[in-house]
Structure 1
Amino acid sequence: MTKRFSIWLLTGLCLTGSFFTMLPEANAAEPTSDYLLSALQIDSPLSLCNEPVPLADPQNKERFEKEMLVSLGNRYQVILWLKRTTRFFPTIERVLSENGLPGDIKYLAIAESALRIHAGSPKGAMGVWQLMPQTARKYGLTVNGHVDERRSFQLSTLAAASHLKDLYSRFGSWSLALAAYNMGEEGLEAEILEQAVSDYYSLYLPLETQRFVFRILAIKCIVENPQHYGFFIGPDEFYPPRAFTTVQFDALTELPLRLVAEASGTVFKTVKDLNPHIRGYYLTAGSHRLNIPPEGEAGFEKRLRELATSDARNRDRRLYRVREGDSLSGIAEKFDVPLAALLIWNRIPINAVIHPGQRLVVLPIDHGNDSETETASGE
């Protein structure tokens, strides 16, 4: 065994803890090349989305084995995939079934994001399904400076299912539909026309797309039979779905999310975690559907209305009128508040230009509610 392989083994064992074993007990001390080779042995033909994968072709076999070894070499990430499946797969499977799509599509979500809500790409894709802004908008999602529904697992799953349905209708096979999902339908169509080939496995495509379907297939093999690849995770070690209920309400003006949290009987972080599509610290005026903890539903609207009324009533006591020569940093220092808090309260960037007469929120809400505290204006 090489030194590099020994270090890899030791790191893998340390990361996994009691719920994970590299190999069955008899071989746990020292995995060998025989083990890695056995992991590549396929006893029966493989299929993806009910379509056979032509692994009899040596080139395809090599492509598949590469993706298997790459995935198995990143074992800590595989553990996270597996533990997240119980949180995300039930919803994905339901949506796929309702749309008449094959269940194997769920493995696409792992290939795209490792089931991470906030996963982003340098090209601008976002969310579990890595939707680009224009694709998301095409399928009804809102993407702007206030809301990015690609981060909403429920909404983005519906959009991805509709997108995949259209891709299959356009290309007639799931291997091509998945390739189009990765590289774009127009790009794939251009390659099909130029090469006069309509079989994914025979097309010369961008290298990432040539690997893509085989990566999904490797993920399917591992997730469907984790013990075969040395992953032994107890039932209690999987991540449970987050419990929530959805409430609908109207905001007459901008509404701080901290008030939603307070009305829900929870903290700001929980509201953000349950509603990752909401950007920033405020809701815009208008109608909203938000997820909150189930125990916060009873009486929610009444509490929120009372909190919003109180917040608006005390707002004037938190305001400061900008004077000649003032700067944001100087105002923050004057009132002994962090500059970052000043920017949050006023929804402005750090390079914002302020003008004499402009009114800025400069005190936290607790100060605004304190009758003994001097008004922010000081005038």
Structure 2
Amino acid sequence: MINIRQLLIVGCLVLASLPARAQSLIDAKDVRPPEQLSLCGEPVPVAVADVRERFEKEMLLSLWDRPQVLLWLKRSTRYLPFIAQELERAGLPEDLKYLAIVESALRPHAGSSRGAIGFWQLMPETGRRYGLQVDEFVDQRRDIFASTQAAMKYLKELHQQFGKWALAMAAYNMGEEGLAAEVIEQKTNDYYRLYLPLETQRFVFRMMAVKLIMENAGRYGFSLSEKDYYPPLRFDTVAVDCFQSIPLRILAEAAGVAFKQIKDLNPHIRGHYIQAGNHQIRLPQGSARRFESNFKAMVEQHDRERSQRIYVVQSGDSLSSIADKFNVPLAALLIWNRIDLNKTLYPGDRLVIYPRQKKPVPAVP
């Protein structure tokens, strides 16, 4: 048997080899800026020593995290073609598509400690300002289609305000009022000469690094075949008109797909229900016909079952005691009734409960 000492020795040898291997993959020549470097059609003054140093830092940090870069590349075929198409339609620079990688690594549920969410890391008030629904039921910042439109409108306004894309991206990161104040105080509108919050000083250079790596993946040691890339989003869209809230599981059952597939294609829907109103719901490709045949009948069946699953709260009841009484998880009780643990129960309150099926007791011989 291998003892603990042998395992420790092997582990140390493996760990010691990692830096050497990583360094062998990254050389000084790999992070040198090209003589002609531009971002969004604007030249980058790489001949300036400080600019070159900041650029090389972001290149080194990006290339060091090779698994993350590999995920950028694999996800790119799922989202970037759509973003590039919309940027072209709006007359905006294609390089802006790399902003979504810098902000979220192309993850719909990416979030920051400040409250920014989604592909483009929009704050709640910014999302609402540009037409997104952001509330307890729906958060369209997580939707690639809606959030891309909002982000483009915001970026276009920032460019109109500051006149340069480097400044527009800086404002996107730190806020337009803060950047405007620094431009006035420092008496320059040159992004590369402004002293800004450290994150914002790095932000545009991270965009440059992402652009260079994504457009020259082979040069930096990333070799992917066509099957390595993740497939584009493919789905059917159906109109769903609800006069009351409906569990997402009913939609999934009507389409004959998994609950997770509905959530993955509609990341903007929060929780387990869609609310009353008109909705455009994405379904796995090829499932729309089945959904349209089944949905109405399943909603009617759900309503009948729900009316038969009402429990009237008694004196002394609590959420935990009710869950125990019916042998159901407390979390399920909260989902079925869209409540939280802080809810105070009163005698006469009505709760929906779907008791577990009791297993038959085997007959005694």
Q: Establish whether TM, by shorter chain, passes 0.5.
A: yes
TM-score, with structure 1 as normaliser: 0.88
Matches within 5 A, 1:156-235: 156-235=147-226
Contact map agreement 2:109 2:117 (CA 8 A) in 1: yes
1:68 Cα offset (Å) = 0.4
Q: Distance in 2 between matches of 1:5 and 1:222?
A: 27
Aligned to 1:21: none
Aligned to 1:7: 18
Q: Please, which moves more after superposition, 82-91 or 311-320?
A: 311-320
| Shift in CA distance, 5/138, structure 1 to aligned 2, threshold 3 Å | farther
Paired residue secondary structure (2:113): coil
Matches within 5 A, 1:1-379: 6-8=17-19, 31=24, 35-363=26-354
Paired residue secondary structure (1:295): coil
Q: Distance in 1 between matches of 2:15 and 2:220?
A: 21
Paired residue secondary structure (1:360): strand
Contact map agreement 2:33 2:55 (CA 8 A) in 1: no
**Aligned residues: percent identity?**
53
TM-score, with structure 2 as normaliser: 0.91
Paired residue secondary structure (1:239): coil
Contact map agreement 2:238 2:282 (CA 8 A) in 1: yes
Q: How many residues align?
A: 346
Match of 1:176, as an amino acid? Answer: L
1:95 Cα offset (Å) = 0.7
Q: Distance in 2 between matches of 1:3 and 1:290?
A: 49
Q: Deviations over 1:340-367 (max 9, x none)?
A: 1001001000121111111111115x86
Q: Please, which moves more after superposition, 288-297 or 90-99?
A: 288-297
Contact map agreement 1:249 1:301 (CA 8 A) in 2: no
Q: Distance in 2 between matches of 1:53 and 1:90?
A: 25
1:296 Cα offset (Å) = 1.4
CA RMSD across the alignment: 1.8
Q: Distance in 1 between matches of 2:153 and 2:211?
A: 22
- Structure 2: unaligned runs, 5 residues or longer: 1-12, 361-365
| Shift in CA distance, 6/299, structure 1 to aligned 2, threshold 3 Å | closer
Q: Distance in 2 between matches of 1:120 and 1:93?
A: 23
Paired residue secondary structure (2:27): helix
Match of 2:177, as an amino acid? Answer: E
Match of 1:99, as an amino acid? Answer: A
Match of 1:156, as an amino acid? Answer: S
Q: Deviations over 1:197-226 (max 9, x none)?
A: 111011110010001000100111100001
Aligned to 1:22: none
Paired residue secondary structure (1:298): helix
| Shift in CA distance, 218/5, structure 1 to aligned 2, threshold 3 Å | farther
Q: Distance in 1 between matches of 2:42 and 2:293?
A: 54
| Shift in CA distance, 174/359, structure 1 to aligned 2, threshold 3 Å | same
1:73 Cα offset (Å) = 1.0
Q: Distance in 2 between matches of 1:271 and 1:68?
A: 38
Q: Distance in 2 between matches of 1:102 and 1:45?
A: 17
Match of 2:78, as an amino acid? Answer: R
Paired residue secondary structure (1:245): strand
1:189 Cα offset (Å) = 0.5
Q: Distance in 2 between matches of 1:235 and 1:57?
A: 39
Q: Deviations over 1:145-201 (max 9, x none)?
A: 000000111100111111111111111110000000000011100111111111101
Paired residue secondary structure (2:308): helix
Q: Distance in 2 between matches of 1:5 and 1:203?
A: 41
Match of 2:159, as an amino acid? Answer: Y
Q: Distance in 2 between matches of 1:200 and 1:50?
A: 15
- Structure 1: unaligned runs, 5 residues or longer: 13-29, 373-379
